Amino acid sequence: MVEHCGSHYNYHLCERCFVDLFMWRSHYNTQICFKDGFMLVKMSPLDGGHDCYLAPVGQGDLGAVLDALEQDAAERGLPFVIVSVAEPMIERIEAVRPGKFTFSHDSEDGDDYIYLAEKLRTLSGKKLQSKRNLVNRFKTAYEGHWSYEDMTRENIKDAFAFHVHWCNLNGCARERDFEGETCAIVQALHNFDYLNLRGGLLRLDGEVIAFTFGCKATPDMFVVQIEKADHTIQGAYQMINQQFVQRNCNDVEYVNREEDLGLEGLRKAKKSYYPAMRGVKYVATPKG
């Protein structure tokens, strides 16, 4: 049902991916229902954020569905807020409820980074020369000592063990946001096959130094939900990135590596790969 409703809108936002909705459902208290051909999603972030609704996707009377969401918010005593509104959705909403909403974009923290899959596979071009250099140096320095393997039921536990190590390495094991991420990773890995996830592990002398996983969200886009690497090993992040995309993203045009959450280091890293576009997310609120 989720995929069917989403198929009517080829938006390149990670919130349109069922895997994201599923793995983060506890953190955002996500509720999903289907009404008149649309998927409706309500979220209540546990980090103190405001209750909100995702822009409805599906086929049918969009205006009536928007009215139903507004009524639901009123009955709950909540302000009516729609988040993750893609630019094409603004046009659709305006077409059925002209002038009713204000659309704002106050921060790029939540905007997705969307890359050409071919660029991530080949690292071609002058802009990505530094990435190619890091990959080549890693391969030279650790020739015969590194290996990449697909994630399977047999090595999933190794991936999670590295996540715990990564959290300790980065001093974030007890931070609330990372507790939420750990819960999300557990949900994804526990349901790895059911969610049709693809993952990979990078090893050095047999020890995991990086892992990642994601899924094909639309016919032309793959979403990478999680990527972790040992930052003390130069080239580890670049290696897991390229190795994974080379094996799993040959049948898509785009790779969505999600948002930077306003974290400066993450923002710098994502921008350094020169995204083809950003998945801009607007907030819609009724005027007046």
Domain boundaries, the chain: 2-110+282-286, 112-258
Torsion sign across C-alpha atoms 58, 280, 195, 190: negative
CATH of 112-258, one of 3.40.50.2300, 3.40.50.1820, 3.40.630.30, 3.30.70.260: 3.40.630.30
Q: What is the pLDDT of residue 5?
A: 44
The torsion defined by the Cα of 96, 102, 105 and 110, in degrees rounded to 10, comes to -60
Q: What is the pLDDT of residue 173?
A: 59
What distance in Å separates the CA atoms of residue 82 and residue 33, rounded to the nearest whole number? 16
Two domains, one topology: 2-110+282-286 and 112-258: yes
- φ, ψ of residue 196 in degrees (nearest 5): 55, 40
Q: What is the pLDDT of residue 169?
A: 85
- Residues 6 or more apart whose Cβ sits within 8 Å of residue 252: 117, 216, 219, 220, 221, 222
What distance in Å separates the CA atoms of residue 45 and residue 173, rounded to the nearest whole number? 20
Q: What is the pLDDT of residue 46?
A: 67
Taken as a whole, the chain contains a residue count of 288
Domain 2-110+282-286 matching CATH 3.40.630.30: the answer reads yes
| pLDDT (tens place) for every residue of the chain, 288 residues total | 555 545 556 678 998 899 999 999 999 999 999 999 999 999 997 666 789 999 999 999 999 999 999 999 999 999 999 999 999 999 999 999 999 999 999 999 999 999 999 999 999 999 999 999 999 999 999 999 999 999 999 999 999 999 999 998 887 756 666 788 999 999 999 999 999 999 999 999 999 999 999 999 999 999 999 999 999 999 999 999 999 999 999 999 999 999 999 999 999 999 999 999 999 999 999 997
What is the secondary structure of 140-166 as a DSSP string? HHTTTTEEEEE--TTTHHHHHHHHHHH
